Structure 1
Amino acid sequence: MLAVVLCVGSGVVWAVTDGDQPQTKKPAAVRQAPDDIRDTVEKVPRSPEGNLAVDYNEKEFKKRFGRETVHAPGAWATEKNFVRGTGSTLKGFKFGTFEEDWSTELTGPICDTTRHVTADGRTAVLLQEKSDKPKDDKGKDKKKGKKDKGGKGKKDKKGKGEKAKGKSPKADKPDEHLCNELAFFDLNTGEKLWQMKLPDAKGAFAPNTNVTMTRGTVAVAWGQGSVAYDMKRGRQLWTGAPSAECRDLGFAGGRDLLALVQCGDIEEPQFKVQKVRPRTGKTEWTYKVARGVERVYLVSSDPAVLAVSTDGTAVTNLITLDDRGDYRATIDMPEGRFFDNCGKSPFGAVETCDSIAVGREQLFLAASKGSPADNWIVSYDLGTGKTVKKFDSKPDRPMYPLRVSGGKLLAFRPSDDGVSPAAVVSLDPRRGEETPYLLFGMPDRIGMENPEESQIIVEHGRVFFAPRELSAEDSGPWKGMAFSVLGVEGA
């Protein structure tokens, strides 16, 4: 039950600005500023074999959480530890100990996270507003009739409570679940650096609220408003209120900040994508999405890549833009042919296409003929939309894109029989070569290897599997426990 891995992360980024083409001179490594979004390049391992780094299960799960299933959004890795978000708790794990190193109780359940991490190991999470209503012995809110005398009723402009506007007690109850608290954490220590309540965020509910980060800035949008904060002290930088015509649906962060804006009638929306200056909120360019599109996801901010749907939530096309917001190319995605995972996240609004990996010049998709066990990975040129390389998987062992590292794709291939090792492989789109990167045995834990059910992260020479939901096992040696995280590292 051990096994695996190896590849030591660098913590630096190559100073390359014109794509992944080989350079005549070896590029110099430059360290990122603390507020930059981390952009590490994994080093080639000397050996793919390794040991378990983290193996943690929640014990007495039902007793602790009081229910069968708990959402577990948020999983991050740094050079020092792995951090897991579950319910209203963040837990940090040192490698090789199998026990939590620290645990931070939050003011409410986690309702959205961002995959982005700063170069020095900080990230942001959104939390539900804690209910102030008194609870009975079973932990349920007491019903207090037509008026809630125990709370601090919100006032309208005339000084009257919201009940005066004709709202029933049932209409007020969802306010307990507002996703309107933003907290900023140091992932290496678990320290909460600051926490802010989003301004006038009455409509901020999961999964229509999203948080992201870019250079020095944390940005949040909830469809009826948006706001940005400075990373260092949580100082508010700017806000965006919906107009009669348009509203911010969400942001994509990373190297730049993109906003998805919806205008017009909700039945026939007109979408726009805008590049936003992180510190001021000013728009640098605007791209108008063609009419007839029903849904838009922001896959990458730089290079700018959009995933659009003309029929429900399934992605039908990918659209690439240049650095001025002008159209570059379209990549068609026939139904049932590609694995995109964009519309399946229970959290977040627009930055949810985890299974589409984007590099400086190419993007990578998993494709199949209808059977997940018979698939391959295709790379596409961002400038032309044309296929560059096709990487075939092995029989009954599909591959899934994880992330682009130094111009190469890191992909995951699960074991097909529980005996042969699972693998992270490095795919070189220029040479069409596959190189073993990490080889490891996986304990028999249902769903751990499925990217639709687990977050799979490769960072600093380790690979981690973190289920998006936790449920207690009903029988067997793990009865009463919930699988929380599994990680492996190099020997």
Structure 2
Amino acid sequence: MTQPPPPPNQPPGPPPGQPPNQPQGGGFGLSKDQPPAQPSAPPTQPPAGGYGTPPTPPQGGAPYGYPQTPPPAEPGYGYPQTPPPGQPQQGYPQQGAPGRQPYGAPTQPMHLQSAAPAAGGSGKLLNKTQLQIVIAACVAIALIIGGGFWYSSAQDGGKSDQAQGSSDGNGGDKGGKGDSAKAAPDGPGKEKAPADTASQVAFQLPLPARLDVTGVPGSWVTDKAFVKTSVNSIVAHDVAKGSVLWTLPLPGQVCAASRHMTDDNKTAIVFEAKKRAKGDKGYPPCTEVGVVDLTAGKLLWSTSVTGDSTGDENARFDQVTLSGNTVAAGYLGGSAAFDLTSGAVRWKPTVDANECRDIGYGGGEALVAVRRCGSYDNPSVTIQPLDPEKGTPLSTFKMPEGVDDARIVSTNPLVVAADVGDSGMFGISDFFSIDAKTGKLLTKIAIPGDKYLARCSASDGVEGCQFVVVGNNRLYLPTEEHEGTGESYSRTNEIVAFDLATGKAVSGRADAGNGYHALPLRMDGGNVIAYKWPPYDKGGQVVSINGATFEETVLLENPSDKTVRDAETSFVETGSEYHFAGGRLFIADDTLSEPGSDSESSSKYMAISFGPKG
């Protein structure tokens, strides 16, 4: 399933210092800007790839478990790289790209064909050569069962001479479950497994009336409410029943929303100054910054601001965050900050003589600016932790040559994602672990784009990374899908970790299980909360993963009923907002398709929630 493109937040015309028709960078594999064509009918043969899709095995492969010679630079995942012999049967159930509906369910289980008998069979004694072959096969099987997890070595090529220690994302640590006696350094989590992990649909939010493709970014969970942006409004729903608690009308549509909220449930938004009208040639600009009380359902204040780069016009913003008592809104042409309590302007968008300006901020425990200098064709990018009251830099780290943008994954500890020299996939080639106090690089972790599922989207601003979390002084990432085990030809993945001090891969992994692929959502103390996208015949799961041992605890398991499963997977995996809190899962869309669209790219609901039975 593809995601429809989001509406532009600004009227036509490039921002200062940016040429017209600038291509959108990043993307989550399924581009919001140019959705691929959908198949008109189910294929007659099982398609390759896709989560849960049974791949077609190559012809002439060796028997399952026989020692394989891996192709050059192709690391194994601890599983056999060549599927068992035998072709999938015609009409075997498929599951396409994430969010796409399965074509059907199997009526009969599929069984593997028997491997050809080994040489020296029929009860005869094996000669020395044959015995060596058998021993080698047994060793290969033992390695597979042991679940070893290796990544191939890759060279940095000397591109970064700043790193005190670095890793290419292919660390040689052997996988495993680790020492179960260890506790995660950041402590125990709050989420506990219930007596019965089976869930039911708590509520579904219908799609609101809209004129065309509409962005609805932003959703939050408090102790009493699930709060979701809608068209020209923000609506709070009872966290258990979905009934409306309050509705906050807005002058126009929400363009951006902070993923953070204060301890007393306040958050920040950017929105248009007036409503869109049918037939408008352009959308109203996103000039208004405001703070919303998510408990009371009130807009506490809203304001706009001019700056050096905007002349007499109000500055436009396409992203917003908060840290402490500071709200910071960003844009390629310059950024601004406001007092969270009063709305007073802390600083305005500025562009200096070297064409330097803050293009956006990472928030949360600290406030960190991504600052860009120079022309569009020859930019340089720096990362600057800021004094949130004054906006003055506390330290500066200069990104390597070939970086024209950056994403803040975490502000404490400071972790930055970037695509160095446009060499990566999905907006990432490397993660940078930085000492925020000194501005010195601790380590660089190169991430091969074909081996990891984390994504960073340029259209989602400086905080636009998904499925990557930081905790326990580690970076937790999902691997890309690969072949599973057993007779189903299923796909699966793992969650692995890297040490932020050394950049080396940490021993151990959390397996998603056949047919599932795991997506880390957030930290819960020292535990990783992950959502498992389901296979064709089951519902999704939420698990808590011990950040030290990778031991998994199931917190929620959704129904396998096809109707429910179709609703759950109708959301585009990489264009949705995920929350798990208090034993409840919420999945919400951030972009609504054009009214009347019946394509597979359309979600059935604006949001869906799963909770405990009873």
The TM-score normalised by the length of structure 1 is: 0.77
Q: Write the letter of the residue equivalent to 1:231.
A: L
Q: How does 1:87-486 map to 2 (within 5 A)?
A: 87-130=231-274, 139-141=278-280, 177-200=284-307, 201=310, 202=313, 204=315, 209-245=318-354, 246-312=356-422, 314-324=427-437, 325-343=439-457, 346=459, 348-368=460-480, 373-388=491-506, 389-418=508-537, 420-441=538-559, 442-445=564-567, 447-448=569-570, 450-471=572-593, 482-486=604-608
Give the Å deviation of 1:225: 2.5
Give the structure with the larger strand fraction.
1
Q: Distance in 2 between matches of 1:392 and 1:218?
A: 39
Mapped contact 1:447–1:454 kept (Cα < 8 A): no
Q: Which has the larger radius of gyration?
A: 2
Report deviation, 1:394.
Answer: 1.3
CA shift digits 1:35-78 (9 cap, x unpaired): xxxxxx533133223443332213xx5xx3133x3222111111
State the partner residue of 2:222. Answer: 78
How many residues align? The count is: 408
**2:290–2:299 contact (8 Å) kept in structure 1:** yes
- The CA deviation string for residues 359-401 of structure 1, in whole angstroms up to 9 with x for no partner, is 1411111112568943211111111111113222212211111
Per the TM alignment, residue 311 of structure 1 is displaced from its structure 2 partner at its CA by: 3.8
Cα offset for 1:262? 0.6
**Closer, same or farther: CA 179–320 of 1 in aligned 2, 3 Å:** same
Structure 1's 236 and 469: CA in aligned 2 closer, same or farther, altered over 3 A?
A: same
One-letter amino acid matched to 1:114: S
Equivalent residue, structure 2, for 1:66: 211
In the superposition, relative to structure 1, how do residues 73 and 368 fare at CA in structure 2: closer, same or farther (>3 Å)?
same
Q: In 2 relative to 1, CA 270–22 (structure 1 residues): closer, same or farther, beyond 3 Å?
A: closer
Q: Which moved more, 1:93-102 or 1:404-413?
A: 93-102
Determine the C-alpha separation between the residues in 2 that align with 1:311 and 1:381: 24
Aligned match for 1:44, one of 192, 196, 205: 192
**Quick one: which amino acid aligns to residue 210 of structure 2?**
F
Cα distance in 2, alignment partners of residues 423 and 43 from structure 1: 14
| 1:90 positional shift | 0.8
8 Å CA contact retained: 2:539, 2:565: no
Measure the CA separation in 2 of the matches of 1:481 and 1:266: 37
**SS of aligned partner of 1:487:** strand
Judging changes above 3 Å, is the alpha-carbon distance between structure 1 residues 53 and 187 closer, same or farther for their aligned structure 2 residues?
farther
Aligned-residue offset at 1:92:
0.8
- The answer to whether the Cα contact below 8 Å between 1:364 and 1:379 also exists between their aligned partners in 2 is yes
Question: Counterparts of 2:367 and 2:186 in 1: how far apart (Å)?
Answer: 28
Scaled by the length of structure 2, what TM-score is found?
A: 0.62
Is the CA contact 2:334–2:349 (under 8 Å) kept in the aligned structure 1? yes
RMSD of the alignment, in Å? 2.8
Q: Distance in 2 between matches of 1:258 and 1:213?
A: 10
Select between 71-80 and 368-377 the one with higher mean Cα deviation.
368-377
**How far, CA to CA, are the matches of 1:285 and 1:198 in structure 2?**
27
Residues 267, 369 of structure 1: alpha-carbon distance in 2 compared, 3 angstrom cutoff: same
Task: Please give the alpha-carbon distance, in whole angstroms, between the structure 2 residues aligned to 1:435 and 1:219.
Answer: 37
Q: Which runs of 5+ in 1 are unaligned?
A: 1-18, 28-40, 142-172
Distance change >3 Å, CA 481–CA 333, structure 1 → 2:
closer
Given residue 578 of structure 2, which amino acid in structure 1 is its aligned partner? I
Q: Structure 1 residues 293 and 22, CA, compared in 2 at 3 Å: closer, same or farther?
A: closer
